[in-house]
Amino acid sequence: MIDIALIREKPEWVKEQLQKLNDAAAIPRIDAIGRLDQQRRELLAEGERIQANRNKLNKSVGRLRGDKKLDDAARLAVAASAAAAIESGDLDGALALLTGATPPNGGAPAADALDRLSGALGELANRVEAINGEVKTVESQLDDEMLWIPNLPHESVPVFPSEEDNIAWEPEGEFRAFDFEPKPHWELGPALNLIDFERGVKIAGSRGYVLRGDGARLQRSLIAFLLDMARAKGFTEFYLPYMVRDDSLIGAGQFPKFRDVVYHDADADVYMLPTAEVALTSMHRDEIFDAAQLPIYYVAHTPCFRREKLSAGRDVRGIKRVHQFEKVEMYKFTTPETSYAELEALVEASSAVCRALKIPFRRLEIVTGDLGFSASKKYDLEMWAPGSQEWLEVSSCSNTEAFQARRANLKYRAEGQKKPQFVHTLNGSALGVPRTLIAILENYQQADGSVAVPEVLQPYLGGQTTIRAPEA
């Protein structure tokens, strides 16, 4: 969520930002939010004004009823005058009467004066309730609109319309020179009996896949290696729930916009985790940190489940785009002052993993048109896959600034400051597992059809250096 004060104070500027994001659908919402916000505040002011008077009057009535010093006639006289004052809208006058500041004005002290007073106060309660009802309606409309507004880009993000314009940095690492035609992983995997697509589809349907033998072991090793890399950099490792409630998805920015990519168990009303980021964002929901606790670094390996409609004919082969995959995700809670330095460090941490695996990769600076919903600034890392002949996105590192913090109510108290303020949150993959697996297979394949094991993974595979096809 962005700060509504921005919309209140400079709506045109906000619209310009949305224009850069290519989110034309969000733009008309800004005016709607402006109207709702104003409406809300007007209603609140009116409702609270009456309520403040009502609170005072109610207390005074309690005292009037219990006041031993007044005889019945006097009590009725006060009640009658006060009731008349309330009915005519003079709440201050009524209060003065009830507290004895002004004497009753001598109206007929009817026997039912106390009931009439109660009735008048009840009427006041009804008015407040009616206004509060309107406030509620307006607020829920307002919240709903706000949840659809994407995060705004940081000023350093290059302004271009589409992912075609993302800025690729100079690749790092050595591109291998092959003296044979490198195969894509969808050929290598089955040939080495590491990946079984037919059985996967048999079990799970479209896009199902099975890793087998050294394929499964390689994945397991990779995950352990990735977690160890993060842990060495000070990240605390977590095991997390894979099924989450909708508040968690709203907090991380998945809902309401991306509802259709998340699997849902309607009976239990829980959702399957699309990324660990969702669970990690919610870890400290509704908490207030001390400044001294920040920054906080977390890392977790989880499966990710994505229902996205996988378009026919695109990325259909292999395990590049699937409904279920493993990912190791890093997450940071920081102060606003340090979040951009922390973003650089985060990308560096992911880059270090690519270097350690000795696979050529490059950094992509994401432009405004491709920023997505939650990020203020984002970098992707891509590994080169010589068999598929393409760059594979293996990591995506974002600073969401206070966008998720506002949705999930994540705050901290700055040194010497009374008011808590929102933290900044960052997330980055380290790395996406199937794509890294693809890159390993395709980069480490050898002329005889076998695949060498990256040096850093060998200890995790009991010293094994090569993956070969099993004996026929």
**In angstroms, what is the minimal distance from the CB of 57 to RNA?**
7
Structure tokens at 363: 């950094």
Judge contact between 60 and 95, C-beta under 8 A: yes
Is the alpha carbon torsion for 10, 14, 15, 17 positive or negative?
positive
Judge contact between 405 and 423, C-beta under 8 A: yes
Between 4 and 201, name the residue whose CB sits nearer to RNA: 4
**In angstroms, what is the minimal distance from the CB of 75 to RNA?**
13
**In angstroms, what is the minimal distance from the CB of 318 to RNA?**
33
417: left (phi over 0), alpha (psi -120 to 50) or beta: beta
Write each residue from 135 to 164 as x if it is in contact with RNA (CB under 7 A), else as -, in one continuous string. -x----------------------------
> Which is nearest to 99 in space by CA: 50, 63, 49?
63
**In angstroms, what is the minimal distance from the CB of 122 to RNA?**
3
Asked if 288 is part of the footprint of RNA (rule: CB under 7 A), the reply reads yes
Taking the C-alpha atoms of residue 4 and residue 146, their distance in angstroms, rounded to an integer, is 8
- 3-class DSSP state for residue 281? helix
**In angstroms, what is the minimal distance from the CB of 62 to RNA?**
3
Strand ordering across the sheet containing 167-168: 167-168, 361-365, 377-385, 390-399, 424-432, 324-334, 296-305, 236-238
Q: Considering only residues 55, 88, 162, 236, which one is a binding residue for RNA as defined by CB under 7 A?
A: 55
Segment 383 to 402, residues that bind RNA, using CB under 7 A:
none
**In angstroms, what is the minimal distance from the CB of 85 to RNA?**
15
Between 56 and 176, name the residue whose CB sits nearer to RNA: 56
Q: Considering only residues 19, 22, 39, 51, which one is a binding residue for RNA as defined by CB under 7 A?
A: 51
Judge contact between 227 and 236, C-beta under 8 A: no
**In angstroms, what is the minimal distance from the CB of 159 to RNA?**
30
Proportion of the chain in helix, strand, coil states, percent, rounded to 5: 45, 20, 35
Q: Which residue has the tokens 């094991």?
A: 453
Binding segment toward RNA, per CB under 7 A, in 46-54, 68-76, 329-337, 393-401: 46-54
Segment 316 to 355, residues that bind RNA, using CB under 7 A:
none
Q: Which residue has the tokens 């930002």?
A: 17
Between 44 and 110, name the residue whose CB sits nearer to RNA: 44
Asked if 97 is part of the footprint of RNA (rule: CB under 7 A), the reply reads no
Size of the residue set binding RNA (CB under 7 A): 28
> Which is nearest to 372 in space by CA: 60, 81, 132, 157?
157
Asked if 36 is part of the footprint of RNA (rule: CB under 7 A), the reply reads no
**In angstroms, what is the minimal distance from the CB of 255 to RNA?**
18
Asked if 61 is part of the footprint of RNA (rule: CB under 7 A), the reply reads yes
Between 132 and 193, name the residue whose CB sits nearer to RNA: 132
**In angstroms, what is the minimal distance from the CB of 41 to RNA?**
4
Between 126 and 446, name the residue whose CB sits nearer to RNA: 126
Between 139 and 172, name the residue whose CB sits nearer to RNA: 139
Between 48 and 348, name the residue whose CB sits nearer to RNA: 48
Between 122 and 463, name the residue whose CB sits nearer to RNA: 122
Binding segment toward RNA, per CB under 7 A, in 58-66, 72-80, 396-404, 457-465: 58-66
Which residues lie below 8 Å from residue 372, measured CB to CB, with a gap of 6+? Answer: 150, 366, 378, 398
Segment 240 to 269, residues that bind RNA, using CB under 7 A:
none
Asked if 62 is part of the footprint of RNA (rule: CB under 7 A), the reply reads yes
Continuous segment of H or E residues that includes residue 362: strand 361-365
Segment 110 to 139, residues that bind RNA, using CB under 7 A:
118, 121-122, 124-125, 136
User: Is the peptide bond between 97 and the residue preceding it cis, with omega within 30 degrees of 0?
Assistant: no
Q: Considering only residues 100, 208, 420, 449, which one is a binding residue for RNA as defined by CB under 7 A?
A: 420
Between 292 and 472, name the residue whose CB sits nearer to RNA: 292
**In angstroms, what is the minimal distance from the CB of 71 to RNA?**
19
Q: Considering only residues 323, 362, 407, 411, which one is a binding residue for RNA as defined by CB under 7 A?
A: 411
- 3-class DSSP state for residue 191? helix
* CA distances (Å), origin 166, targets 18, 158, 365, 460: 18, 8, 6, 36
Q: What is the CA radius of gyration of the chain?
A: 31
Taking the C-alpha atoms of residue 332 and residue 410, their distance in angstroms, rounded to an integer, is 12
Binding segment toward RNA, per CB under 7 A, in 152-160, 164-172, 250-258, 418-426: 418-426
Residue 166 identity (one-letter amino acid): N
Taking the C-alpha atoms of residue 144 and residue 255, their distance in angstroms, rounded to an integer, is 11
Could you list the residues that contact RNA (CB under 7 A)? 41, 44-45, 48-49, 51-52, 54-56, 58-59, 61-62, 65-66, 118, 121-122, 124-125, 136, 288, 411, 413, 418-420
